[in-house]
Amino acid sequence: MNKIFINKNYIFFFIPFILGFLTSFTFSPYNLIFINFLTFPALLYLLNVGKKFKLNNKYFFLIGWLFGFGYFLSGLYWISISLTYEEIFRYLIPFAVILVPAFLAIFYGIGTLILKKFVSKKISFILFFSLLISILEFIRGNILSGFPWNLIAYSWSWSLEIIQVISIIGTYSLNLISLTIFSLPFILFVKTKYNKKYLFFSFFLILFAINYLYGFKVLSQPREQNIEEHDFVIKIISPNIDLKEFLKSENNDLIIKKLIELSNPQADQKTIFIWPEGMFPSIYLSEIKKYHKIFSEVFSNLHLIILGINNLEYQNNVENVYNSLAIVDNNLNLISSYKKNKLVPFGEFLPMEKYFQKIGLKKITHGYKSFSKGKQRNVININNKFYNIKLLPLICYEIIYPGKINIKKQNVDLITNISEDGWFGNSIGPYQHFNKAIYRAIEEGNYIARSANNGISAFINPNGRILQKIKLNDTGTIEASLPKYKNKTIFSKYGNKVFAIIIILYILLIFYFKKVEKNEEKKLSFYK
């Protein structure tokens, strides 16, 4: 029967691919969230059809894998753009387009395979589906180096009211609840008493309404009023230097000139300038002093510059290169620095490097040698006669990890995120990367200053409001004052431990509905 069904109805396996493909359009910049209310119930229905035709394990895995493949294929195609800047990488484009989604889709395949034993037209199935997929998404975001991109929770990025709750429960918990909400239309096919359907649907509808009202109340409270501000200003620089020309150029003078011009330093104004990631591709941090004269002529002792630059160090006669954030004064004296912890596989380091080098492969970003990984992320405490501020440094995609950006739960005045998004061109990538910063601001309850070359730069408040913004492909400067705001969120205190609590609550809810459904089956068999 299985073979007959598969042979004659191969279109059945084209459907989950289309469902996954469409689901990716719920993220920025499209924000077509209504699609989720169609695709996830359809997936649940498809699994029930698979059970009806008694499909084996292979086909149940395939249903989930095809959904995930379509989902990641359309949502992550922009990764391949980074391979267009050097001829050596162009042959890898088909592999990046196909293999990355194919690997990530395995998590959905595992999910539907496990679900095979639990497939039913019951309320408990909706809950179990949501719970299992969200746990697998958590594993996807943490296993190996982790890649928590395009969690379903990011579908709500268009509504600050809805996502305020992540200051309490975090993005992974919202991901779980979102999967349940998006699956609610499947209740039309659930075989149970009307009052049970009504109870279940009403519970999550009321939960959603309460969440929205909570978010509305939070956003209605004027946070910036009557709060003392620091006695300095922050200038976020977005130079929009074309990446192709940038990588070809060895003339740092031209880059520095443009950055200084945009910075427009005022000698008598205490200012922290934030420049993007990797602005000096041809020199290391130890060599930056050669530009001392240029800096000292335009910057004063009231100024600090935060910039992205590679850092070369030797340990036991071994050469280590770090993608770093450095804080320097007007004389280019190093105040502090940070070495990136979360490196991009193939972008910043080459797994099994000694083997791949033999076939001429290298990492994508500038230079042949892989970056070394920084050991820890500590808050940078600047305390001198001019400044008293605590900064949490994040480089590029380190901003995408929920609950991982401030593991030590240190007090922070400002989260600084520097990035180079030119690797992904005019795709959806820079928009989605930027939205992650909004979620982290809410989770951590901190201001975020984001400086991106060829990306979206912004100053974001702890509610996720964009106070100032420079659009993609625009050149400009943001000047902002930083309020002395201290209010740790519940999530910033406990991190992803909150997700574990939500999981337990879901398990209890599943057991409750399983008991109700079992009692209904007993009554039904009695009357028969």
For 398-448, what is each residue's pLDDT tens digit? 999 999 999 888 999 999 999 999 889 899 999 999 999 999 999 999 999
Do 173 and 136 fall within a single domain?
Answer: yes
The answer, yes or no, to whether residue 351 has pLDDT greater than 50, is: yes
Nearest residue to 288 (alpha-carbon basis) of 307, 264, 269: 307
The answer, yes or no, to whether residue 452 has pLDDT greater than 90, is: yes
* Domain ranges, residue 251: 231-493
The answer, yes or no, to whether residue 166 has pLDDT greater than 70, is: yes
DSSP secondary-structure letter at 241?
Answer: -
Do 412 and 520 fall within a single domain?
Answer: no
Do 271 and 124 fall within a single domain?
Answer: no
Q: How high does pLDDT run on average in the chain? A: 89
Do the domain assignments include residue 127?
yes
Do the domain assignments include residue 277?
yes
Where does residue 279 rank: exposed (0-12), middle (13-18), buried (19+ CB within 10 A)?
buried
Rounded Cα distance, 506 and 519, in Å: 20
Do 470 and 343 fall within a single domain?
Answer: yes
Rounded Cα distance, 506 and 526, in Å: 30
DSSP string, 429-472: HHHHHHHHHHHHHHHHT--EEEEEETS-EEEE-TT--EEEEE-T
Do the domain assignments include residue 462?
yes
Alpha-carbon separation of residue 378 from 44, 349, 366, 411, 439 (angstroms): 44, 22, 26, 11, 21
The answer, yes or no, to whether residue 526 has pLDDT greater than 90, is: no
Contact 26, 33 (CB under 8 A): yes
pTM score: 0.93
Do the domain assignments include residue 226?
no
Do 352 and 290 fall within a single domain?
Answer: yes
Highest-confidence segment of 57-71, 190-204, 219-233, 313-327 = 57-71
Per-residue tokens: 85: 């800047």
Rounded Cα distance, 54 and 48, in Å: 10
Do 314 and 355 fall within a single domain?
Answer: yes
Q: What are phi and psi of 453, to 5 degrees?
A: -85, 130
Do 207 and 275 fall within a single domain?
Answer: no
Do 156 and 63 fall within a single domain?
Answer: yes
Contacts of 300 (CB under 8 A, 6+ apart): 265, 267, 268, 330
Where does residue 221 rank: exposed (0-12), middle (13-18), buried (19+ CB within 10 A)?
exposed
More confident residue, 471 or 88: 471
Do 15 and 70 fall within a single domain?
Answer: yes
**Model confidence over 216-275: pLDDT tens digits?**
999 998 765 667 899 999 999 999 988 877 766 666 788 889 999 999 999 999 999 999
CATH assignment at residue 455: 3.60.110.10
Do the domain assignments include residue 156?
yes
Q: What are phi and psi of 463, to 5 degrees?
A: -90, 0
Do 184 and 263 fall within a single domain?
Answer: no
Instruction: Quote the number of domains for the chain.
Output: 2
Do the domain assignments include residue 216?
yes
Do 243 and 333 fall within a single domain?
Answer: yes
pLDDT range class, residue 333, cuts 50, 70, 90: very high
**Model confidence over 173-218: pLDDT tens digits?**
999 999 999 999 999 999 877 777 888 889 999 999 999 999 999 9
Do 473 and 519 fall within a single domain?
Answer: no
Rounded Cα distance, 335 and 306, in Å: 10
Q: Residue with structure tokens 């000292």?
A: 296
Contact 418, 14 (CB under 8 A): no
